[in-house]
Structure formats: C-alpha cells, structure tokens
Chains A and B, each alone.
Chain A
Amino acid sequence: NAGVTQTPKFQVLKTGQSMTLQCAQDMNHNSMYWYRQDPGMGLRLIYYSASEGTTDKGEVPNGYNVSRLNKREFSLRLESAAPSQTSVYFCASSVRDRVDEQYFGPGTRLTVT
C-alpha cells in the first residue's frame, strides 16, 4: 500500500494563478482532510470530508475549495493564489472522522510570489 499520496511535491505560483492539489489514499478510509503548516506553527485544518459526498470547513477555509471526487480522492483548489497561501499542505485520511488517528501524506510545498 502506498498510503496517502500527494501531487505535486513542490509548486511555485504567481499571485492570482489557480491550481489544484491532488490527494489519494489506498487504505479504504472514509474520511479525508487538508491541512496547511506555516513556519513555527502546527497544522491547521482547512477542510475535511467525513465521508464520500460530504465536506466541511475547518479552521482556515477562506481562499480554498475542495472536492471529494470519490472515496479515494480529495482535491484542494486555490482559485486565485495569494502570497499568504505560501505554506506546506498536508493531506490526511482516517477510517472514521470521529475517533480514529489520521495518516498523513508527504506534503506539498507551495510558494506564491
């Protein structure tokens, strides 16, 4: 099993450009999550999907949209990137959203200039 995979690993965008971060898991988990990690801070939840067909806002959802494409895939879209969105983005998954530990992907380092 590959676990949780993310693409791309690195990305540089200009202000105003759009892009989609892809995440997939092969563990048959029901729940998936997107986080951002800024220097000197812990991870902050952007959006999560408790199950296929549902999505909910986390702590810092502004400027982002998500799509739970199917049970395996959960994408994060930046419609108009801003320098404040420069960060490392992590995708995670868990069996259930309420009780289980989360398994993380390797992260995507995004720089917006």
Chain B
Amino acid sequence: AQTVTQSQPEMSVQEAETVTLSCTYDTSESNYYLFWYKQPPSRQMILVIRQEAYKQQNATENRFSVNFQKAAKSFSLKISDSQLGDTAMYFCAFMKRGDMRFGAGTRLTVKP
C-alpha cells in the first residue's frame, strides 16, 4: 500500500517570505500522480498543484512550485512571497488508479 508522510505537523512563516513543506511517499509503482491540496478554515479542499511522475520537470503554479525527486520519493512544496491567505492545512497526496492517499497534513500559519 502507498503511504504518504508529512513530517512537519506545524510551520509558520512571515508574510512575503518563502517556506517549504516536506512530503515523502512510499510506493513500488513507476507511474503515478502527486498533488498538494490546501484546506483553509472553511474546510474546503483546494488543489494547489499537481505533478505527473513521468515528467522530470517540476510543476509551477504562480507562487507555488514543487521539488520532485522521484528516486528519493520526495515531493516538497515551496511557497514564495507568502500571503496571509496562504494560512491553511496543506496535504500532500499520492494517486494511483483513482486510489488517492493523503498525508496527515502540515498546518501553515503566515504571520503579518
């Protein structure tokens, strides 16, 4: 079974600074998909970024980028120019054949 580990239960960052959230996963598969989801206090799950395992290029979405290290099974999220609205729980997720597995999450607080 696939497992996803987020080793940082909580993190904080000053507004406008950069923060990196860590994620590692365990799988024997070669083709899969990785995601970062954001869950603000409203509880709504919002997709931040996705990465296909067969692509070597790291995905980027505006202020959000990933560092995907397939051999190391690592998938970290970098948030640049942090904003107060980035305060949320962040979940890393692994998907293979529709079966999505989530990590336990990292609570990020952006301080003014």
Contact = CB atoms under 8 A, between A and B. Distances in A.
User: What class of interface size applies to chain A in its complex with B?
Assistant: 20 to 34
A60 B52 CA distance: 26
Contacts of A98: 97-98
Interface stretch (B14-22, B74-82, B101-109): B101-109
Contact of B50 (A41, A58, A101, A107): A101
A42 B43 contact: no
Nearest to A97: B98
Contact of B100 (A33, A41, A88): A33
Given A90-B45, A97-B97, A106-B43, A42 B50 contact: no
B43 A88 contact: yes
Contacts of B101: 42, 45, 59
Contacts of B66: none
